[in-house]
Copies of this chain bind each other. A is one copy, B any other.
Amino acid sequence: MTPKMKPLSLPRRLLLGPGPSEVPPEVLKAMSTPLLGHLDPAFLQLMDETMAGLREVFATQNQMTLPISGTGSAGMEAAVVNLLNPGDRIVVGVCGYFGERLAEMARRRRAEVTVVEAPWGRPVDPDDVARALSNGGARVVAIVHGETSTGVLQPLAEISSLAKRHGALFLVDAVCTLGGLPVPTDELGIDLAYSGSQKCLSAPPGLAPLTASWEVMDRVRARKEASASWYLDLRLLDGYWAGAQRVYHHTAPISMIYALREALRLALDEGLEARYRRHQEAYKSLLAGLSRLGLEPAVAAEHRLPTLTAVKVPDGVDEKALRRRLLEEDGIEIAGGLGPFAGKIVRIGLMGHSARTENVERLLVVLGRALGR
């Protein structure tokens, strides 16, 4: 006699944290579509459409543009394991939790890792990257575009130029930015970028959109030794997603591809410029409202990431109790700080479908009430 479980019954939240973001009803509906097989011609066409849609949001002509079958961190690991061999040198800009994660993954790959640090709450200084590169011999320069742990937007152009000048590949973590602000892959000479489905694209978590340049793929195809990871091997993934034979690799997460494809359809339907503007407008209305409540962003104006705002916790306020109250009484999720920012900030995400002024207004009302302001 096996035990029984109850039918799924969950509270309804408004997701204004660092992701997952709100998923539009059309995408939720796509998730409930009956499944096709992973080699069905109708599904192969859907894969092509998904790749085409991702090329639009990555602003790239890269053929190798697809969703990795895992969450954003699987995209990060796919980047590290395909770009680096043991002993290769990588320069990683670190100014928060996700830069640290990148460095950690590179160490596990037995790469020689040079960390270029900036204090949490500030971007990495290109001059520091230049100094780290001056020793020569780096195969990869890696940086996080939008640091979800601190709410800092990292300028990319100068670091990209430095990477090119030193013959290094330029790797960008676009988890917190893709679909919410421009990630101009080709224009900036990004060699590999990855993201997550659950942030500014507003699909559920479970896929990591990734794009890799022709040069990266030439190297991947020419390599003599197989990639350390079979699951994340870009050569095998290329054969399934883009090869003429569509060679079976692993069973694609069908329903998640439905969702991502639908999320991309909505993004292109809205128009990317309009979508980026909507994110800016929601961000500006949040800033104005925080100011009215006497709350202060943790990051200087010129470094702020519009999709994720770190807010200083006022003296005397227990941020855990504040977040619990918002979640349990008002059904709104925001997040706390990590690492050196734990207890000192709360993080408010305005990504994808969450980035709407009506959501901002609802949050401001309950924040004001909770803080007695």
Residues of chain A touching chain B, judged by Cβ–Cβ distance below 8 Å, are: 1-8, 10-13, 15, 17, 19-20, 22-23, 26, 28-42, 46, 49, 52-53, 56, 69-74, 76-77, 101, 104-105, 107-109, 196, 198, 204-206, 226-231, 248-256, 258-259, 261-262, 264-265, 268-269, 271-272, 327, 333, 335, 338
The reply to whether B250 and A72 contact each other, CB–CB distance below 8 Å, is yes
Q: Inside 8 A of A5's CB, which chain B residues have their CB?
A: 49, 52-53, 261, 264-265, 268-269
Q: Which of B6, B101, B196, B229 contacts A108 (CB 8 A)?
A: B229
Q: Which residue of B lies closest to A266 (CB)?
A: B5
Number of copies: 2
Q: Which of B30, B231, B268 contacts A8 (CB 8 A)?
A: B30
Q: Which of B17, B31, B108, B226 contacts A37 (CB 8 A)?
A: B17
The reply to whether A13 and B37 contact each other, CB–CB distance below 8 Å, is yes
Q: A320 to nearest B CB, angstroms? A: 12
The reply to whether A196 and B20 contact each other, CB–CB distance below 8 Å, is no
A-B contact list, 8 entries, CB within 8 Å = A1-B271, A3-B52, A4-B269, A5-B269, A10-B46, A13-B35, A70-B231, A74-B231
A338 to B247, CA, bound (A): 11
| Most central of A34, A53, A254, A272 by chain B CB within 10 Å | A34
The reply to whether A40 and B333 contact each other, CB–CB distance below 8 Å, is yes
